[in-house]
Amino acid sequence: MKEYTFHYGHGTKSFSIDESKVIKEIEMPAVEPLTDIKQAVLDAIYHPIGQAPINEVIKPGDTVTFICNDPTRVANSFDFMPVLVNEFNKLGIPDENMQIVFSLGTHRLMTEEEMAEGVGEEVAKRIKMFNSDCNVPSDFEYFGTTSRFTPVLINKHICHSDHVILTGTIVHHYFSGYGGGRKAVLPGCAAMETVRNNHSFMMDPNAGLGRTIGNPVYEDQMEGVALWAKGRSVILFNAILDAEHRFLKIFAGDYIKAHQEACKFVDEVYGVPISKQADVTIVSCGGYPKDINVYQMQKTMDNAVLATRQDGVVILLAECEEGSGSKVLEDTCRELKTADAIEVKLKERFVIGANKAYAITRLSKKAHFILVTGLDKQLAKDMLFAGAVDSVEEALKLAEQYVGKDPSYILMPTGSLTVPLLKA
């Protein structure tokens, strides 16, 4: 028996299993993290991909808007934002000419304290900061409609600066291909109806993890952002982090070309080949904030199921300190009760929140999910999880009901990042 320790919320959970039954422990490939973050930031903006160095792009007196991530995504903005702001000062951009907009998409609003925590106290004291609230129609400006009939309504705070800097990190995304890049704008700074229509294409079989070409969600986002970006200076600044939230590489430059290069690197560091699928996959989201709620946890579910045989078990460590993250998600599951009913209803009318109910429950057709969680047990049952327990030991015992004794295992300590790739 060997003891393993996985991240769980702000702490950890430990468990012991027979090491001989472990097919693979899925870890990110070893990549040395960056040691000088400030220099890496400066190198990225002065040697960008697909555009001129930053000092040739911005001029003294220009206005700049930074788009930053909300707390549900690990971005380490507090590390790079002070470097960017201070460097822009040196290039002739005073603090009063800069602002930060937090790309919330359809997530809850951030508090002043969360904003300061996100970008660092120093920057928060100096730079104006705004939430993008998708539910305030007067905050959005119209830039046309995509060929898939998505109205492009973008937050006014990112529409009137000389330059917009799209910051954040990139991981695989289960229906839009990859995070980062254009997602800072759409869905990040888009109105509810824009997000609702765009995300409705997740029902298309061509929408999937790591897919861009032919993916209707990705293509619609790119088309919508292009309508907004026309005639505008839009600069990418995206980082790739490891499981311990350390910087591996920073990409900056043209928001399309630099993102494409970054996605190649994401495939290299997050994609992990496996020789076979396991009876039981034990997976952690990687701790807070990846397991802040069910809404975020779901992305780990999509990765973990790739490591698990049909009708196998996924034991998922996710504290979910903020519960489900969506009342609509909860109500949809309670009202419709089955994955098939949720899918039918969503195809009739796509609703944000209900889409997450679909994303979660559809996976119950592939595997039995047992949560090690602080989530309300009845709520977990309503969302069609096979169980919700307090310890991995309890989950392992429960798993025997589905796969018998002495199952094979795959372990995923950083399940929100790593993508198992079954090789024939």
Cα distance between residue 190 and residue 394, in whole Å: 43
**Residue 317 in this model has a pLDDT that exceeds 70:** yes
**Residue 103 in this model has a pLDDT that exceeds 70:** yes
**Complete domains list, the chain, with CATH:** 2-27+271-422 (3.90.226.30), 37-241 (3.40.50.11440)
Average predicted confidence (pLDDT) for the chain: 96
Mean pLDDT computed over 32-61: 97
Q: Confidence band (pLDDT; 50, 70, 90) for 243? A: confident
Residues 271-296 have pLDDT tens digits of 999 999 999 999 999 999 999 999 99
Which percentage of the chain shows pLDDT scores above 90?
A: 96
Mean pLDDT computed over 335-342: 96
pTM for the predicted model, two decimal places: 0.90
- CB under 8 Å to 254, separation ≥6 — which residues? 48, 49, 50, 51, 235, 236
The continuous run of DSSP H or E covering 401 comes out as: helix 392-403
Mean pLDDT computed over 63-85: 94
Q: Confidence band (pLDDT; 50, 70, 90) for 424? A: low
In the sheet with 247-254, reading across from the earlier edge strand, the strands are 128-131, 98-103, 64-69, 163-169, 233-241, 247-254
Tally of CB atoms within 10 A around 113 = 9
Mean pLDDT computed over 409-415: 97
Cα distance between residue 48 and residue 64, in whole Å: 18
Cα distance between residue 329 and residue 355, in whole Å: 8
What tokens does 7 get? 């991240």
Burial 152-174 (b: 16+ CB within 10 A, else e): bbbbebbeebbbbbbbbbbbbbb
Inter-CA distances, 67 with 161, 202, 234, Å: 12, 25, 11
